[in-house]
Amino acid sequence: MEPLAFPFLRDSFARQPLFQDKTWRLSPSAWPLTPMQVTELERIGEACFSFLRALEILYTRSWQGKNLLRNRELLAPWVAGYLDRGKPERLIAHQRHASTKNKFPAVLRPDLLLTDEGFALTEIDAVPGGLGLTAFLNRLYDQPDAGVIGTHDLLLDEFHAALAALAPKKASPFIGIVVSDESATYRPEFTWLAARLRERGHRVHVLHPTEIMPLGHTLCAPVDGDPEQIDVLYRFFELFDLENVRTADFILAAAEAGDVVVTPPMRAFQEEKLALALLHHPQLEDFWRENLPRGSWPVLKKLVPHSWVVDPVELPPNAVLDAPWVAGKPIHRWEQLAEASQKERNLILKASGFHESAWGARSVVLGSDVPRDEWLAAIQHAMAMAPHTLHVLQDYKKPMRLKHPVYNPEGQLYEMEGRLRLCPFYFIRDEHPKLGGALATFCPADKKIIHGMKDAAMLPSAIVQPVPTVVGVG
């Protein structure tokens, strides 16, 4: 693949802004992945979807008070208690409604870090940004023999097919991508994506929540001055933002009546980061073994760093917390984590969900990267928020140091040392996830927490040889 020139990349993004007020570094080449790594990504997609199916069983049996295991009694009402914490009663009733049974997101995007031990999964995003950007990047970098994963055409086709399959009785369903004000940063990429799909003959439009018009139980949107019934509503807003979506009650009612399909479904338990902590909970291991496919259980156990739910409960004197140990001993109060050594504080603390701080790395604190008093303050803040929003502790898996060519802001090419986050997109059809592309975020090596930032490079992924050059593990 020929390296892409800086003026070409700069002018391409100038003509088509994809994020509101966001910039990043440009790279002349896609991120290289080996065929073996791509095969692993496909296994990860299957494992993530299997996890959501098992989570549905766990949540449902928990709130219904049913036994979790086949041959032995195990009741866990506390699971639903955790996953429902802080949610409005209307939303809890909706996610338990019969119409939402076995409803899963049409698009999944796990966040993967490339470490010395392989991939580490930090969360599964059911409302993923970057979809339009990935399609745009795939088109820019897709040259002959480039090996871009998914390609621009495949990503567009699979995204539309996954949504259209939710309205099987409609030959040409109307798909409304609803983007709230809170998520307005991502509106340009969805506007671009919808325009490309309309060029392919599909009825796909980006809507503001106020453009949704209820007619009976149906939902309509204005197109060229005329109302059109929405068959599939692609929800691009977080559920904590639901109270700011003025048409939310109409959307909930229409979904329950079966007059519109909403994806991702408005089921908050599917979007809580603490769900991954339940994978490691000692009381639930037998449940996961019984309800995850044989191939998915070891994949998830290897992928997901050990995680704990920060729940400030009052314990009897002879009890200890399911929590990291300090100085080789279990703890009985979360504040004891402040006494941990720097090595023992190699932990990520983050809000689980249903709060404005729970996305975009806003709440993330790395214990080993802050002074003791800041770490204690972060723990105390998490405990203070617990009545409404729980936090999760997760073992920090340090991404390995790699090199990749990147342009500086003046257009000069250099080998940047950095760390990688990989976000593969999976489109779910017939309960099977298909890999449609992978967005690479390559951050400078001094950044401990990897996310989209102006100093990072955003680029697509491609199957190539050889593998990226490892320059160290510090």
End-to-end CA distance of the chain: 31
Structure tokens of 308? 């704990």
Around Cβ 323, how many Cβ atoms within 10 Å? Answer: 19
Q: Of the candidates 143, 148, 133, 147, which has an alpha carbon nearest to the alpha carbon of residue 196?
A: 133
Show pLDDT as tens, one digit a residue, over the chain (474 residues). 678 999 999 999 989 888 876 788 999 999 999 999 999 999 999 999 999 999 999 999 999 999 999 999 999 999 999 999 999 999 999 999 999 999 999 999 999 999 999 999 999 999 999 999 999 999 999 876 668 888 888 999 999 999 999 998 888 999 999 999 999 999 999 999 999 999 999 999 999 999 999 987 799 999 888 899 999 999 999 999 898 899 999 999 999 999 999 999 999 999 999 999 999 999 999 999 999 999 999 999 999 999 999 999 889 988 999 999 999 999 999 999 999 999 999 999 999 987 776 566 677 899 999 999 999 999 999 999 999 999 999 999 999 999 999 999 999 999 999 999 999 999 999 999 999 999 999 999 887 777 666 889 999 999 986 545 555 544
Q: Compute the distance between CA of residue 372 and CA of residue 352 in angstroms, rounded to an integer.
A: 23
Contact 192, 137 (CB under 8 A): no
Q: Compute the distance between CA of residue 10 and CA of residue 15 in angstroms, rounded to an integer.
A: 9
- To which H or E segment does residue 275 belong? helix 274-278
Identify residue 5 by its one-letter amino acid code.
A
Q: Compute the distance between CA of residue 290 and CA of residue 61 in angstroms, rounded to an integer.
A: 14
Q: Which residues, 6+ apart, have CB-to-CB distance to 70 below 8 Å?
A: 290
Contact 415, 404 (CB under 8 A): yes
- pLDDT for residue 473: 46
- pLDDT for residue 356: 74
Q: Compute the distance between CA of residue 256 and CA of residue 249 in angstroms, rounded to an integer.
A: 11
Cα–Cα distances (Å) from 368 to 43, 245, 263, 310, in that order, read: 32, 39, 38, 18
* E-strand stretches of 106-251: 107-115, 118-125, 174-179, 203-207, 213-215, 218-223, 226-229, 232-236
* Interval 1-49: pLDDT, tens: 678 999 999 999 989 888 876 788 999 999 999 999 999 999 999 999 9
Q: Give CB contacts under 8 A, 24+ apart, made by 14-23.
A: 16/136, 16/192, 17/188, 18/132, 18/133, 18/136, 18/188, 18/189, 18/192, 19/133, 19/185, 19/186, 19/188, 19/189, 20/184, 20/185, 20/186, 20/187, 20/188, 21/185, 22/185, 22/452, 22/454, 23/454
- pLDDT for residue 451: 66
- The residue with tokens 């928990």 is 62
* E-strand stretches of 133-258: 174-179, 203-207, 213-215, 218-223, 226-229, 232-236
- To which H or E segment does residue 189 belong? helix 187-199
Contact 333, 370 (CB under 8 A): no
Identify residue 408 by its one-letter amino acid code.
N
Q: Which residues, 6+ apart, have CB-to-CB distance to 447 below 8 Å?
A: 418, 419, 453, 455, 456
Q: Compute the distance between CA of residue 305 and CA of residue 470 in angstroms, rounded to an integer.
A: 22
Q: With H, G, I as helix, E, B as strand and everything else as coil, classify residue 143.
A: coil
Structure tokens of 251? 């959307």
